Each structure stands twice: as structure tokens, then as C-alpha cells.
Structure 1
Amino acid sequence: MKNYFTKYKPFLLFLGKFLLAYLLLTFVYQFYLSRFDSAAYEVDTITKMVSYQTQELLHFFNANASIIPHPEEASFKIIYNGKYLARIIEGCNAVSVIILFVAFVVAFTGKLRHTILFALFGSMLIYMLNVWRIALLSYLLYYYPAQQRLLHDVFFPLCIYGVVFILWIIWVNKFSLYARKTV
């Protein structure tokens, strides 16, 4: 058994750090969400920020768009050219993707400063791309409503997770302690 732990120590350390970071961040996020009353249709602050920033981005591109609170659930309605297209719920705010990203960065340890900066800037990039994702999705749903499943369930998740994957590759190869040092 000791030989097993010695042989697989790097993997087990990675797995332990990943699970610990993921569970800790998820617990903190769930605690944050518990402060909002979804039964009273109260939307959390991060989802509100994403919703209104999406509206502002659409306005920047001269779109006739508005974000209004949903009267029957904890979400915001996206109104584009007078048409109700979609809703922004808590799951649309990218926090779960950011938690996954940060847990991976923490698991593949790097220098503390690099880890904090990469996790911070990577999280901001994911957040900003998510706002762009929702705005572009709104535009595309208006003009191509029949493609909703493809756009929402396939194309845009592929884009956001693709960016996360690229960030992970950069982290592992350039900044983590496992990165090869070429001389």
C-alpha cells in the first residue's frame, strides 16, 4: 500500500488539492447564494451584475435590448427588439465555471503570486467572456430562434469551456511547478 501511495503521490496530491479547493469554493458560493430568497424571486448580486452588464454591452452595439426582473422566478428576462428571448438565471453567471477553473489552477500548484494572479485574471476573462456570450446568444436567438438548442447547449458551452481548457494548458505549461524549465 505504501508503494502505491509513493508511486501515485503526484496524482493523489493533485486530486486532493483539486477536491479541497473545489469543495471549499463551492461551499463558500452556496453560502453566498443562501443569503438570497429565491422563493421571493430574489436574484443574487452576481447574476444581477451579469444581467445588467449584458444589457449595457447590447446597448453599446446599438441593440434595442432590456433586462427586466422575471415576475415568476429568480431570474431576469432578456427583451430584444420587444421580444422576450431568454432568461438569465443563477447558472448563467459563470461562477461554477470559475470555481472549476480556480480549483484546477490551485491543484497544479505554482508560485503563490503567480497562482493568485493567474486565477484572478483568468476568472475575470471567463466572467467577461460570459457576458459577451449572453449578449451574442441574445442576438443570435433573435435572428435564429430555431437554433436555440445548438447555440445554447453546444456552441457556447464549447466556447467557454474551450477558453478554460486553453487557460489550463497555459497554466500547466508556463506557470505551474510542473512546467518544464528549458535552459
Structure 2
Amino acid sequence: MGIRVTGVMIYYYFVCKRKLWYFCHDINMESDNENVLLGKILDEGSYAREDKHINIDNVINIDFIKEQRELHEVKKSRAIEEASVWQVKYYLYYLKQRGVGEIKGKIDYPLLKKSIFVELSDEDVEKIEGIIDEITQIIQKEEVPVFSELKICNNCAYHDLCFI
């Protein structure tokens, strides 16, 4: 059986390959991180009327689904929007692989009072399949990927681990 690639892994792939590797090797630094805690508070306080946290196969965890067959991902800011977009595209891909079609994606930014729509194209499907292969390769490596400083490093839960 191959590695089960999750939505979080897709997100981390776009954020930072080191973070992805740490996460997949059960090195978790996020439980006490202030930014992560703020995100959880935002998640708990937003969209209270929705049936939230729909976990499918322990692979994808959709924040909520609206009646119009629209899945939603709630994010604190647009700082790492590309990662968020690909996470939602992966949700759409995963559902499509299981016979669920005609579903739309949306990323909600409640603090900004903005939303963006996300669709899955045939080109996206090809790219996701390549990303899944790359994630599998990263995870199977014995050593953490080489460090390269990024804009997001100062706010990352793994900051201290990378800067030792």
C-alpha cells in the first residue's frame, strides 16, 4: 500500500518541504504555536451554523459543505494562498476519484470578509498526481530536506527547529 497523502500534506508541500517532512515523521511543533492557536479559535468561532470538520477516510478534512455542493476551507489570511488553493483542489480531486462530481470549492477569509472560488481543471489533476509522487519521495527520504529561508519562517511553528 502506498503512502496516504492528506490535504494537510498538500498544503505543507506548497508552504515548505521541510515542514512537510517533519509533519510526516511525527515531529509536531504546532500544538503550542500562537498562529496555529489563533487559527483554531477563528475556526471554532466562524460559521457556527455549519456542520463542520467533515473527515473523509482520514485523508481530507473539509471545514464545511454548503447545500449547493460547495465545500469550504476557512483560512485566517491570504499569506499562503497558493497552498490553500491547492489544498482545496486536492479535496475536489479526492472526491472526484471517489465518484463525487459537480462539487465546487471555496476558500473563506472571515477576518478579511472575502472569499475565493476554486475549480479543478484537467491540468490540475495532472499536477496533483505529480505532487502526490513528489510528496511520497520527500517522505521516504531519511533526511530532512535542505533548509532555505522563506518569508513565512518567522511565523512558522517549526522556526526554532530549523534555526538551531
So what's the TM-score if we normalise by structure 1?
0.28
Bigger share in strand = 2
Question: Which of the two has higher C-alpha Rg?
Answer: 1
Highest RCO, 1 vs 2 (Cα 8 Å, sep ≥ 6)? 2
